Structure 1
Amino acid sequence: MCEALKNAYQLLEEIGRGRFGTIFRAFCPDSDEFVACKIIDKALLTDETDRACLEKEPKIMTLLAPHPNILRIFDVFEDEDSLTIVLELCQSVTLYDRIINRTVSEPEAASLIKQLLSALSHCHHLGVVHRDIKPENVLFDSRNNLKLADFGSAEWLSESGSMEGVVGTPYYVAPEVLLGRDYDEKVDIWSVGVILYIMLSGIPPFYGESATEIFEAVLRGNLRFPTRVFRSVSPAAKDLLRKMICRDASRRLSAEQALRHPWILSGGETNSMD
């Protein structure tokens, strides 16, 4: 372990484990705060792409700071064996844990989606596309504020305003990513739309028994609102969903536009478009 890290932080118990390393709860005597230390084992980075992503992540997070809905980064330590990113400590419960077995009321969903869109509006304004928006990457701090995390797949937009590369998670990935075309920050908005759909209905908009079947359903992009599960969902919420989960990225809302949608502005009040 890096000597400078040992001098600055007291490592406590393990709180998480990923593909490339371990996350520990730690204490910083200087600030009198508990933090999270993500220690990445460089020996596990056999792929150049993985190495590049992990080196890019702290740079992107530093660029994005500070924003109330983006996970804060405090420090980065590196030696021959490891890379350690010191991050804001959040609750162990993610958005995925909160929504996996229940539907969410429209006011609660609107509050969460507004915070997520606010984080993305900030990212997109600075030319950063997250590219892996999913409930598992949405955390909460001790005051229950939403925090967008895991910028390992994030990328800067090119000068032409686009990028390429197939990244993301099956249920949430936008069709233009799967088609291998150049795409832009609107891929994040598609993913947020999918999260909102799941929150309000308890089911994903595009389903399959395997990743391939899910991808095929995403590419068809046939957005439906089954009466059985959408009976009590407001027209305004469905209108926002149609405009976020829109196959034509040029017609899909931006984060800024979505934040100005009547359903978001009304806090999920069901009569917001009457």
Structure 2
Amino acid sequence: MFESLNKDYQLCEEIGRGRFGVVYRCFSADSATSFACKAIDKRLLTDPTDRICLDIEPKLLHLLSGHPNIIHLFHVYEDDDALLLVTDLCDSPDLYDRVSKGPLSEPEAAGILSSLMGAIGYCHRLGVAHRDIKPDNVLFDSWNRLKLADFGSAEWFGGNERRAMSGVVGTPYYVAPEVLSGREYSEKVDVWSAGVVLYVMLAGVPPFYGETPAETFEAVLRGNLRFPTRIFRSVSPEAKDLLRKMLCKDPSRRLSADQVLTHGFDFLKTGHPWVTSGGETRAMADLA
């Protein structure tokens, strides 16, 4: 499986494991740099949909690798049994690990969301929808730079003449209601998912959940967004308003990725959008 890889890299220890493969650290002697190698075992891909995803991910990563907040694809190796993707090494705790320890501060959440929406907006401008935005896919490298990863569910929806997408993909807590309803949908499903990520960062729990995936899907379809006082007492009105506009059930009224980055109110007469100011307006309020 690794014969072609071994010409350029030294395979090192396992650092992660997924449904179809294993992630290893690999080392390039030429550049004296460590990378990640995602090894996908083709023999485990019995569903035709999974085979399509296998073909799509490296193509889309080649297209998107120029953005600083998207995982960079360096090399692809493939034989009859395996696909090997050599990417950035992200060895800091991912966002899932960070939020599992409790809610983040508002400035920290704003900074992460700013980088995440920058990556999502870049994808959308190039006609790509990620379709599985969640904390597990928000990685950080050794310099704490955010890297959006795992484009296995992504789809290219077009350039100037954009087409609607279909198909149920994503993760129960984070999937947009229009995906579950069976209707066609747009790239704004990523904005919904990012809104759920923001809610989780600020609250430590998802906004829509149930005891089973089916109950969670029902809660998502209802889309009854609430801000429990016990949890959101210290969260700013601007952050709550942003959540309402990202987690809007009507996609035509939901903010786009670029609009999220420019959202904000004249809070304390600063005029700074909440996201691009990194939550600084809230910090100023706390000092007032």
Instruction: Give TM class, smaller chain.
Output: over 0.9
Q: What percentage of residue pairs aligned between the two structures are identical?
A: 65
The answer to whether the aligner puts 1:252 opposite 2:254 as a matched pair is yes
Q: How many Å apart are 1:143 and its aligned residue?
A: 0.3
**Aligned equivalents of 2:162 and 2:194: distance in 1?**
24
How many residue pairs align between the two structures?
A: 273
Partner SS, residue 132 of structure 1: coil
- CA-to-partner distance for each residue in 1:9-58, whole Å, 9 max, x for gaps? 11011111111111111111222210111111111111111111011101
Asked if 2 retains the 8 angstrom alpha-carbon contact of 1:236 and 1:271, the reply is no
Q: How many Å apart are 1:272 and its aligned residue?
A: 8.6
Q: How many Å apart are 1:5 and its aligned residue?
A: 1.2
The answer to whether the aligner puts 1:220 opposite 2:232 as a matched pair is no
The answer to whether the aligner puts 1:193 opposite 2:195 as a matched pair is yes
Q: Quick one: which amino acid aligns to residue 168 of structure 2? A: V
**Aligned equivalents of 1:264 and 1:90: distance in 2?**
24
Q: How many Å apart are 1:204 and its aligned residue?
A: 1.2
**Aligned equivalents of 2:17 and 2:86: distance in 1?**
15
Q: Which residue is equivalent to 2:87? A: 87
**Aligned equivalents of 1:242 and 1:184: distance in 2?**
19
Asked if 2 retains the 8 angstrom alpha-carbon contact of 1:16 and 1:23, the reply is yes
Which contiguous aligned blocks of 4+ residues in structure 1 show a shift greater than 2 angstroms? 158-161
Q: How many Å apart are 1:265 and its aligned residue?
A: 2.8
Asked if 2 retains the 8 angstrom alpha-carbon contact of 1:189 and 1:253, the reply is yes
Partner SS, residue 264 of structure 1: coil
**Aligned equivalents of 1:87 and 1:46: distance in 2?**
25
Q: Quick one: which amino acid aligns to residue 105 of structure 1? A: S
Per the normalisation by structure 2, the TM-score is 0.92
**Aligned equivalents of 1:33 and 1:3: distance in 2?**
20
Partner SS, residue 263 of structure 1: coil
**Aligned equivalents of 1:30 and 1:266: distance in 2?**
40
Asked if 2 retains the 8 angstrom alpha-carbon contact of 1:137 and 1:150, the reply is yes
The answer to whether the aligner puts 1:270 opposite 2:272 as a matched pair is no
Give the 5 Å matches for 1:113-124: 113-124=113-124
**Aligned equivalents of 1:118 and 1:235: distance in 2?**
23
Q: Which residue is equivalent to 2:177? A: 175
Q: Quick one: which amino acid aligns to residue 241 of structure 2? A: D
Q: Quick one: which amino acid aligns to residue 5 of structure 2? A: L
Asked if 2 retains the 8 angstrom alpha-carbon contact of 1:2 and 1:78, the reply is no
Partner SS, residue 270 of structure 1: helix
- CA-to-partner distance for each residue in 1:52-110, whole Å, 9 max, x for gaps? 10111010001001111001110000111111111111115210000113111110000
Asked if 2 retains the 8 angstrom alpha-carbon contact of 1:11 and 1:25, the reply is yes
Q: How many Å apart are 1:2 and its aligned residue?
A: 4.2
Greater alpha carbon shift after TM alignment, 42-51 vs 131-140 = 42-51
Unpaired stretches in structure 2, ≥5 consecutive residues: 264-272
Asked if 1 retains the 8 angstrom alpha-carbon contact of 2:92 and 2:142, the reply is no
**Aligned equivalents of 1:204 and 1:22: distance in 2?**
28
Q: Quick one: which amino acid aligns to residue 53 of structure 1? A: C
Asked if 1 retains the 8 angstrom alpha-carbon contact of 2:127 and 2:162, the reply is no
Per the normalisation by structure 1, the TM-score is 0.96
Partner SS, residue 153 of structure 2: coil
**Aligned equivalents of 1:157 and 1:121: distance in 2?**
14
Q: How many Å apart are 1:161 and its aligned residue?
A: 2.8
Greater alpha carbon shift after TM alignment, 98-107 vs 127-136 = 98-107
The answer to whether the aligner puts 1:142 opposite 2:142 as a matched pair is yes
**Aligned equivalents of 2:215 and 2:3: distance in 1?**
48
Asked if 2 retains the 8 angstrom alpha-carbon contact of 1:205 and 1:223, the reply is yes
Q: Which residue is equivalent to 2:68? A: 68
Could you say if the C-alpha distance between residues 271 and 83 of structure 1 is closer, same or farther in structure 2, counting changes exceeding 3 Å? closer
